[in-house]
Structure 1
C-alpha cells in the first residue's frame, strides 16, 4: 500500500479524509490510496497566482523553452521508473512508451518551437503592424501576453504522463502556472512524474502543483485570468463547463472528450493493394494499443460493401494473434483495462452495441489470459461488431465502449461514407486509407467540419506515418461537437490558449517599445558605425544604414541576363515589355536589384556577421528601368539569440529609386557573433 500525496502550496500532503483505494489492474489487489478532502484550494490558487505566475512571467519565452528542455531531459533519464510503475495500470511496455516517451517528446517539441518560433521576449507578436492613419504615424498591432492566473488541468486515466505533459508544456511556455489533477485510478504514475520534475530544481516555486484525488470546490474560486483544460467523458465535461462560477467569470474552458472516431477504407484499396493490409494493421493496432483505452482509438470502421467480408476476416485473423496477459510478460500484446469498474463499463457498453450489431470476433466469457487471473484482473478480449444497418443504428454512432471494441459497417459510395462519418457528430480524428487523391478530397470536403484531424495514409506515406491514434504536438488535437469543441497542442496555437490577445494602438515608436521589434516609421538610429561591424549584443533596434546610390544601366541588365540565363522578355525586348501592363519598357531583373543592394550595404571585411541565412517577405513594388538609380536603407528590426556564440538579426531592407519611391522591400536574416 502506497500513500499518493498531493503537492499543494509548496508542501507534500499525504492522503487524509476522503482517500480512495487504488487497485492493480492486473491482480485487483489494492496497491495505493489517494485523496485528501482537507486540501486548502484557495491557498493553492494563491500560491500559483502570487508566486508561480510572477516568477514565470519574469522569464522570456526562450527562458521558459530552455526550462522545458531541461525538464524533458531530466525525465528521460528517469523514465524506467515510470515504466515500472505503469505496469499496474494494465499497460504493456509499448503502451508505456506511448505515454511516457510521448509526453517527454511533446515537451521537447515545445522547447524547440519556443526557441525557433517565439521571441526571446515577454510579448508575442500576433501578425504584422496595421497602418491606421494616412501617414503611418498611428499604427495598430495584435500582441499576446500570459494570463495572470492559473491553469487547472483535469486529466484522464489512460495517459497519466502524456496527458499531463501535453497540457503542461504549452502552459509553462506561455508563462502560466498549473495545478494538475490526474484521474485517481492512475495518479500514482503522475505523482512520481511530478516529484521528478520538482526534484529537478528546474521549475520556479509555484509553477506546478498536484492534486491526487478530488479538486473539492477549487473551480468555484476561479477568476477571469484562470483557465481549465479537461480530458475525459462528455458527461463530466458538461458538468464542469456549466459550473456557474466558470460561466459568470468567463473562465476559459477547453475540453477534449470521448468521441466515435472512425476509419474509412477507400474504394481503391482492394485486397491486392498495400492499402488494404495497411488498413487492417491500423485497425488492429488502434483496437489493442492501451487495450483500446485511447480517446483517439478507432470505434467505427467503414468499408466498401464489396469488401466487407474480406475485411472482417482479415481483422479477425490479426486480432486472433493478439496475446492477452500480464503486461510485464514480453509475449503479451494487450494488457488489462485500468480497473474493474472500467471493465464493467466496457462490457455494459458492448452489450448496448450488441442490440444493433452482431459480435463477429471476441467473446468476453471465453478468452485466454496468460500469466494472470482473468477473473481478478480487468481483462477483456478485443471485440469486433458488425452493424448491417448503420443508417438506422443509433447506439453504434453515439455509444463509446472505452476499450478494445469497434464496429464495422459497409458504405455504398463515398457520399454514404461521409454521411456515416458525420453521424458521430464530432470526433477527434477520422482516418482514410486510400491511394486516390480524389477520394481524399471528396471526404475532406464532406467530413472535415466534423473532425478535428483527418489522417490519410497509403503506400507512399506508410513508412513514416505515425498512426491514426497518435496526436502530435505540431498538430491540433481536439474536435467539434461530441469531441468537446476545443483544441490542444497545434504548436504555438496551444500556447495561445493560455495567453490574452490584445490590440495595441499608438505611434510606431510605442509599438516598437512594446513589442521589442522595430516598426517602420519608428525612430532610426543613424549615428552608429556601420551595423555590420557591430556584434549581436551591441546592435540596437532601429540602427539604420543608408547607402550611396547606384545607377542601373542597360549594360547591367544585359550582362545579368546573359550571365544568369534569365532572358525573360521584359528584360530583353522593349516592345514586348511595353505591351505588358506592368512595365514601361525593358526593366531590371528583381534579383539584379537584390544583388546590387547587397553590394551597396555590405561591409566586406571579416567581422561579426557570420552568414546570410535568407530573406523573407520580398516584394517588388515598382519597376526599375535603365538609367534609374537605387539606394538602400538597412535597419535592425529584430534580434533573436540562438546560442552563446551567435544570434539571428532580422534587418528591414528598403530599396528606393532617385524619386525616393520604394521599389523593393524585404527582410534580411543574418547570423551575427555575440
Structure 2
C-alpha cells in the first residue's frame, strides 16, 4: 500500500472498472492535528464518475456476481484477510487523515469495522434467499408460492469524514453480500483512507472488475450525479440531515431506494436515583470521543433540577481528565476536529449559546497548532435553544435541567432527531421503562454498548431511513420477488 501515516507525499488512485487509475488533477488531504498537507487524492470528474457508474452497471447486468453466492463469500473472506493483514498501515493513515486517536482505532475507527466484513461473509453462508409462503387454492387449482430475495442493483455509497473505515465497510460489505455492485464515494476530508480500501480490493481479492469502484472528488457535482444517475438503483448516504433531505429529493426523480443515516442530538437522562459519579464519567468521556464528531453521541445531558449543580461539577471534573493532543500518541483520548472550518462552526455555536444565557463551565477555547478544541461544558441550557437543538459535531456537552421523569422524557423527545440516547438509574426496570419511551433507533441503559457488526443501527424521525449492520443491513440491499407455479 505504500507509505502511510505522517509521511509526506501520500497518494492514492481511483478504482474504476477493476483498474487503479490516476485522475487529471488532485486535491490536498490535510493532517488535522497539524493543519499541514500530508498527501494528495485524485480529484475525480463527472466523466470519471460516469465511467464508475457504467462499470458497476455492466458488472451487475452482464456477470454472475449477483447470483454466485460462493464467489461472493470467497471475495468477502479475501477482503477480510486483506484488511487484517494491512491493518497497521490503515491504522496510521486513519490516525493522520481523520485525526482519530490511536486508542479509538482499536475500536470503532478500524478494528471493529474490519469485523463487519467477517460478519457478512458468515451471514451470507446461511442467510435464506428463498422463503416458502404456502400453497393456495384459486379457481380449482393449487398454487405453490414463494419469495426470492435478489440483489437490489447498483449502489451509490456516499461517505462522511468522521469514521471512514466503519462507514465504508458498513455499506460495502452488506451490499456485496447481497450481490450488488457499488460506487463508493470518499469524503473530501478523508479521501486517502477510503481509496486505500479500493487498493486492497484491486490487489488482494477476486472481486470482478466493476463490482467495486472507489472515487474521491472535491466536486459537488460528483455526488449530485450519483444521486440522480438512472444507472444507480440504491443510494446509501451517511451525513448531515440537511444534505440527506437534498439527496432524498434528488433521488425521487428516478424513485431510487434511499438509505439515510443522518444527524443526531441524543440525550443522556440521569434519573434522580442514578449513580451520579458513574453517569458523569460516561457523559464527560462520551462527548469527547473523536472530538465529538459522532452522530450518535449523547450531546444533551438531562439532569434533575435539584441536582443540576452537583452533577455539573462532577461532569466538569470528568471532562478535565480527558487527554487531548497528538492522536498518534497511545495515551491520547481525544484528537482534533477535522478542519478549521468545522472548528469555527463549533466555536461559533458555543459563543452564541453563552450569549443566549448558557453558563460556560469549562472549555470553549481553540488550541493550536492543528484544529483542536477543548472539551466544553455548558450548564443551565434552554432545551429549545440552538445548542440544544442543532447538531454541533464537536466536544460540547449541553446540560439541561428537568423537573420530573415526565419532563425528562418530553425534553429528550423534543428534537427533530431520533438516533440514539442513554439513561442512568439504579433501578434497571425504571431505566428500561424510560428507554422505551424515547423515540430513537438505539439506546444505552447504564452504559450498555449496543454497537457491533450484528446490531442494526439507524434512526427515527429526521435521523434517517433504514438500518445499517446486522441482518437488517443486508436486507437494505435486497429486493423481494414473489413467485407462483401451479402444482398438481
Q: Structure 2-normalised TM-score?
A: 0.90
Determine the structure 1 residue equivalent to 2:483. 504
1:85 paired residue among 90, 93, 104 = 93
3-state SS in 2 of match to 1:248: coil
Determine the structure 2 residue equivalent to 1:186. 190
- Find the structure with the greater CA-based Rg: 1
Distance (whole Å) between structure 2 residues aligned to residue 295 and residue 436 of structure 1: 28
1:352-363 paired onto structure 2 within 5 Å: 352-354=352-354, 355-363=356-364
Q: Determine which structure has greater relative contact order: mean sequence separation of CA pairs < 8 Å that are 6+ residues apart, divided by chain length.
A: 2
1:8-407 paired onto structure 2 within 5 Å: 8-17=16-25, 19-34=26-41, 35-37=43-45, 39-52=47-60, 54-60=63-69, 63-88=71-96, 89-97=98-106, 98-116=108-126, 118-119=127-128, 124-126=129-131, 128-133=132-137, 137-147=142-152, 149-213=153-217, 214=219, 215=222, 218-219=225-226, 222-223=229-230, 226-243=233-250, 246-270=251-275, 276-354=276-354, 355-364=356-365, 374-390=367-383, 393-407=384-398
Distance (whole Å) between structure 2 residues aligned to residue 428 and residue 216 of structure 1: 24
> 1:441, CA displacement in angstroms?
4.2
Distance (whole Å) between structure 2 residues aligned to residue 441 and residue 379 of structure 1: 37
Distance (whole Å) between structure 2 residues aligned to residue 183 and residue 347 of structure 1: 23
Aligned length: 471
Distance (whole Å) between structure 1 residues aligned to residue 232 and residue 185 of structure 2: 19
> 1:194, CA displacement in angstroms?
2.0
Matched, 1:455 2:444: yes
Go from structure 1 to structure 2 and tell me whether the alpha carbon gap of 1:4 and 1:102 turns closer, same or farther (over 3 Å shift). Answer: same
Distance (whole Å) between structure 1 residues aligned to residue 428 and residue 243 of structure 2: 39
Determine the structure 1 residue equivalent to 2:457. 477
Determine the structure 2 residue equivalent to 1:515. none
Contact 1:146 1:175 in 2 (8 A): yes
Give me the CA root mean square deviation. Answer: 2.3
Distance (whole Å) between structure 2 residues aligned to residue 223 and residue 241 of structure 1: 15
Contact 1:176 1:498 in 2 (8 A): yes
Contact 1:266 1:439 in 2 (8 A): no
Determine the structure 2 residue equivalent to 1:442. 433
Contact 2:151 2:479 in 1 (8 A): yes
Q: Structure 1-normalised TM-score?
A: 0.66
Distance (whole Å) between structure 1 residues aligned to residue 117 and residue 316 of structure 2: 37
3-state SS in 1 of match to 2:468: strand
Unaligned stretches of 5+ residues in structure 2: 1-8
> 1:260, CA displacement in angstroms?
0.3
Distance (whole Å) between structure 2 residues aligned to residue 139 and residue 132 of structure 1: 7
Distance (whole Å) between structure 2 residues aligned to residue 165 and residue 308 of structure 1: 41
> 1:5, CA displacement in angstroms?
2.5
Matched, 1:3 2:11: yes
Distance (whole Å) between structure 1 residues aligned to residue 249 and residue 370 of structure 2: 36
Go from structure 1 to structure 2 and tell me whether the alpha carbon gap of 1:39 and 1:222 turns closer, same or farther (over 3 Å shift). Answer: closer
Determine the structure 1 residue equivalent to 2:3. none
Q: Deviations over 1:188-236 (max 9, x none)?
A: 1111122122211232221211111142653365338610011111111
1:478-493 paired onto structure 2 within 5 Å: 478-489=458-469, 491-493=470-472
3-state SS in 2 of match to 1:473: coil
Distance (whole Å) between structure 2 residues aligned to residue 389 and residue 160 of structure 1: 34
Go from structure 1 to structure 2 and tell me whether the alpha carbon gap of 1:416 and 1:332 turns closer, same or farther (over 3 Å shift). Answer: same
